[in-house]
Chain A
């Protein structure tokens, strides 16, 4: 072979090879991209269900609750259950088990669920949210919430323990505290539910009494949970992984977040306050729960209470002489109270261990706002603890408290009435403080015995539940500023609370000027129940927190990630309502320790982005000086590594990898066998 010819051929060859490689490379990229961007064959087969909420597994010291699916999801033929008789097909008659039941929200009851739980012909359940809410009420919580973690036990008021006196939540069916071995999903979008029902009607309905034929419409739910048994087991496994593995696979996380608190008169948080100083604590909870993960609108059980609390704090800060009051007032927002009082038990623990600036001995009295939005004929009930009132030093202080409240209600559309003196306290954060020390205190609620709330800790505890009604045709901005009747009613309660607190703190002036602003209450209710992404919330948050505000309905579940949206928003709203605007530059505001001034240690400075000018697109940020602080709300059981504790909350949430749902058609076994036969013939 001539070298010259070979060399020339080589050059041409190289050029051709280069072009070919380039062409192949391009082809590969195009095909590869096509693969990644939505496989069209997959879209021919599956319809993903996007607007769903799963039921996940939670664990405590002794039990696991919630739902579990198989590792690769559970599949079943869809059957729509719209009335109780439809269940018979699923449980006994249907020829193609296992079934995936699509349940109407009205039928989601304890009796039906226990029937499904006992059957092996069910591979999963999808519940279509009922609109409007079920008329008879629905609560998946317990009849006796937080039983065993309050103050009443065999040693303290045994006749009141375990709701012997009154079941606080009589509609509670305890479903959220049952353990299911199949996945349960909530279908939040009525359009998706209609797509599933259409698929069912097209393929799964028996024709003229005969068996429905393949292909059948099926659903697959993925919700495999990694944790099992109880918190002790899952925390032990997680700690072994963390200690010994290079790539630890933890299986569960403790439910934890932060409590928000603020004082009327600023205190130095790096040291303890004077032992002779007296503080009045005002408390509300800011979280809720439901059967499904991260679905917790909590309108009556949490939001209305903390919104009232925020309005009372704002009203008090406007009074000119509050800095001269003899006693201080601490506004506390507890996170995690739904799960055996995580926030309040941690604060009491910190106070006992001297890790908190205020000690238990500094507490003069305690005022808690429980559920206050559904007052019957404007009556607000005052609950006290009968056991501590037997103490001769506590009784007169409680009477002073109640008197101050009744005096403050004169002129307002609120009638305060005491419940019977032998009636115990409802589930409240105050009970955790009583466990540690007898303190005079009251809990204000709209119910005398059992709850007025018929949707306690359920997905139906929404703005409609507290009767928030807006007229038709309003823009989002107009809706934000519209004052509802609910807002007016809660503002009245806030006014009464603010006036009573002023008197209790030693104020001697006229209280008739202390008024909570219904417009602020209405804006807060809109922001925490309908849409967090509104102009007011946008103006009071920091600049780099754009992801905090969303357009979907706000949920108030504690979760395992730190600082959920609710906690942060309560912090910013409290800072805005109780703080003052100071003339600092951004540098000074973000680094207050640089400018020497002893006053600065008592305050917290936040640089907020401010409101947008109507003409321009830029915002005018400013510095807010407030006394709002965050403290950890994680159960002491995890600090002390007592995972089986009966003293403190031990709730954990399982970890998972993949949660999704989809529907598709499944073919008959006969078709598959035919395919196999053809294939074998081919070979």
Chain B
């Protein structure tokens, strides 16, 4: 009598011992059932022992599935049965074109692919005690066997040679493992890639932020500097105010920004004669439209602004920006006060009641206002600037030529060669005020002696001196010294004279009578390395 055990399998009540063997361990129900089935059949049924009881054979899978499986098991699916066999690690043994007699069909040749033979090392007819050692395989091995089974099924269905069993067993293992590994690696790489992208984006963000902050700070510092300079100018002694007062006649100054208009040195700076004040409406707007990206240029343009913004209405003059040399800032700082009073008078009416002290303040107000405007507007703009504003070189920290004393790293040594005591005293006084050291020579021979003894940073040489004139003295100097700048101080500067001076090796011309600002410029120009 068949009965259903706990597993739901139909167990044949063969009267034999329950699925407990003499030995330890429990024989799985399926195995027990199978064993009993095989014991209870003969050669005539579609399944039986094979090979002396070491295997069992299913002659006709379809018959087996139709008749046997429903009776013994819950289903009639041959594949399920085979699967279960595989679970218990039964191996299907292949036939190689071996025909076997089918017991059901007498003497009929059955194609070998229809015959299934299963083998398990522990499933033997005469070794019943081994049955309990048959266990279901673990997942991994089960999957391997599944693969193997699949391969074997397809191979059998194809009916060809195909892969041999051991190979079939091993390859799925490794390839599947590899596949899984690679899959995992890809996933890891992708996540790493995402992380890196995120961090790079973060870094870029931070970089941009820092740049903006830096620009902002720079603007503020520059603005503060400008305010300080403005205050310093405001507190300067009268000499600054004299220039506005002495330049009251506005007409005079419109053409000659430099107080000595006949100065031949203007030949060196012809562009100063072209325009009174080389400030630019284009420069100021281009500064305001400037981009803070290039900081040095921005700093230069912002520093250049203080000298410019007091004349916002002047027409543009393009010669200036490209021609800005290092000597430009002092040069046009000198003419600036007169011209500033010039223009600021009409433009800013209340404060233009031009008594002296208000002039600096009018300078300061437009300056600070424009500076503030520039500073506030510059960070807000993003467009690239015109190159004009970027040409302005960074001027020296003291752009005001009327500062009494330059800040030198080292005091420049100047030799003053002049026979006229008045001029000597004036020159030395100027040099004192500009912070230079000086020696005095009264004639050419003395000058040569001094020059041989000491290396000077600048030599102011009068031409008409006794014993050895300035040109000769310079020639003597140039025999062994090519670098020391020699500036000729003279009241005669015709073209022939200038040629003579240059021919003797002179570096520059300072016309007599000279003024302090001109001397200052020359000093600055030739001693920029000492600033």
Please say whether chains A and B are actual partners in one complex.
no
